[in-house]
Amino acid sequence: MVQPRFGRPNGGSVSEASSNLYVANCGPSVGLSFDVISSAFSVFGDVTAVHPADDTGARVVVCFDAAPSARSAMDALDGRPCPLLGGRVLHIRPSKILRPSCFPEDSVSVARTASELGIDGLYMLHEFVTTEEEKELLEAVDGRPWKSLSKRRVQHYGYEFLYNIRNVDSRQGELPSFVYPILKKISLFPDPGNSERRIINQLTVNEYPPGVGLSPHIDTHSAFDEYIFSLSLAGPCIMEFRKYSKGTWRSVLATSSNSEAENSGDDSNYIKKAIFLPPRSMLLMSGEARYAWHHYIPHHKVDKVGDDLIQRAQRRVSFTFRKVRTGPCYCEFPQYCDSQKEVINMVEER
């Protein structure tokens, strides 16, 4: 269980003048959006913000511009059914917190476009598939067996991905026909690369429940070619990119996504950037973005994108399209490359 993001309520003493209220039994996971909560509390004064208080989605902090408004709201609503919130009984205490610690000041600002992010080799297209295509893709995978991992479910096509070795198994057949229209669109993806590199023969489908993400990792260089396409469906999330200054091929393997172990690597020495992935968008990781940056999906129920708090949906389903590598990787990033580890070892040993 993640620690509450706001400090504990300060005991409920009405003598303390707080303009913020900690409100339990209230939030997106009990069917109340931040907007609905805000307008219900606005009856008592100007509400400046409604923040999640923790990752449950059922506790919020309502911030008023003045303490008397907060006090009136608490006096009127605490422990009683609230007609404006479907008769829900709220539990309200004053909260001293001014700023939600779930989004610390140093948290990275989230770009909405790849060009804003500025990582070489990273591209994103919005509305890469239509809502109709999205529905069909989801129905197709929902009609097939899922494999349960500890926090999410997966399906693999073309080649099975083996999480223990972070590499693929032997070939299992063609990709399913329901992805043919996507493969066709991928072949038209506008990027400066060579179309040969867009051949796809492996697909991993990931289904994430709300609050579930993916550990920081670089897809194993020796397992997959340069181009990695990831299609987001059903729900949004943010993806963080980290470039570790002391990264080595060992840390790449140690923090592979595909390991079920939670391992965030050396947290002290990296630069990070983040991008918002809306449903139906397609992300292409190539070049430096694919070979040298770890990608990571934070385990959030709510993402902060600019001034917006965006709730994770009931699920996010991603389709990751890759081509299995047949020989060693000769990328320009030997530091992160398991195929070139002998070279690195020789340099390290000298």
Ligand X SMILES: O=C(O)CCC(=O)C(=O)O
Residues contributing to the site for ligand X (CB under 6 A): 204, 206, 214, 219, 230, 257-258, 295, 318, 320
User: Nearer to ligand X by C-beta: 214 or 302?
Assistant: 214
257 sits near Fe ion (criterion: CB under 5 A)? yes
Residue 55 in contact with Fe ion, rule: CB under 5 A: no
Q: Which among ligand X, Fe ion, none contacts residue 110 (Cβ within 5 to 8 A by kind)?
A: none
d(CA 234, CA 203): 18
Cα(112)–Cα(240) distance, integer angstroms: 12
Of 230 and 248, which has the nearer Cβ to Fe ion? 230
Shortest CB 244 distance to Fe ion, Å: 16
Q: What is the DSSP letter of 90?
A: P
Would you say 230 and 318 are in contact if contact means Cβ atoms under 8 Å apart? yes
Q: Which stretch binds Fe ion (CB under 5 A): 1-9, 46-54, 150-158, 257-265?
A: 257-265
Residues near 265 by Cβ (< 8 Å), separated by ≥ 6? 216, 242, 244, 251, 254, 255, 294
What are the tokens at 347? 């340099």
Q: How far apart are CA 68 and CA 88, in angstroms?
A: 23
Question: How far apart, in Å, do the first and last CA atoms of the chain sit?
Answer: 46
Shortest distance in whole angstroms from residue 258 CB to ligand X: 6
255 is an interface residue for Fe ion by CB under 5 A: no
SS3 32: coil
Closest CB to Fe ion among 219 and 338?
Answer: 219
Distance of closest approach, residue 318 Cβ to Fe ion, in angstroms: 9
Q: What share of the chain is helix, strand, coil (3-state, %, to 5)?
A: 25, 30, 45
CB of 1 to ligand X, least distance (A): 24
Among 21-29, 89-97, 176-184, 219-227, the segment contacting Fe ion (CB under 5 A): 219-227
With contacts defined by CB under 5 A, name the span among 6-14, 175-183, 203-211, 250-258 that binds Fe ion: 250-258
Structure tokens at 96: 């001293």
Give the number of residues in contact with Fe ion, rule: CB under 5 A: 2
User: For residues 288-307, which are near Fe ion according to CB under 5 A?
Assistant: none
Answer yes or no: are the C-beta atoms of 31 and 82 closer than 8 Å: no
Q: Which of 54, 55, 219, 303 contacts Fe ion by CB under 5 A?
A: 219
CB 257, min distance to Fe ion, A? 5
Backbone angles phi, psi at 140, to 5 degrees: -65, -45
Nearest distance from C-beta of residue 164 to Fe ion, angstroms: 16
Nearer to ligand X (CB atom), residue 32 or residue 214: 214
Comparison of 34 and 208: residue with beta carbon closer to Fe ion = 208
**Cβ 206 to ligand X, closest distance in Å?**
5
Q: 144: which DSSP letter?
A: S
From 158-166, 212-220, 303-311, 332-340, span contacting Fe ion (CB under 5 A):
212-220
CA distance 63 to 21: 6
Phi-psi region of 271 (alpha: psi -120 to 50; beta: other; left: phi over 0): beta
Taking CB under 5 A as the binding criterion, the range among 71-79, 90-98, 192-200, 254-262 that sits at the site for Fe ion is 254-262
31: left (phi over 0), alpha (psi -120 to 50) or beta: left
Which residue in 47, 23, 22 sits closest to 35, CA to CA? 47
Residue of closest CB approach to ligand X: 318
Smaller CB distance to ligand X: residue 294 or 304? 294
The site partner of 230 among Fe ion, ligand X, none (C-beta below 5 to 8 Å per kind) is ligand X
> How far is the C-alpha of 235 from the C-alpha of 258, rounded, in Å?
21
Which residues of this protein are in contact with Fe ion, per CB under 5 A?
219, 257
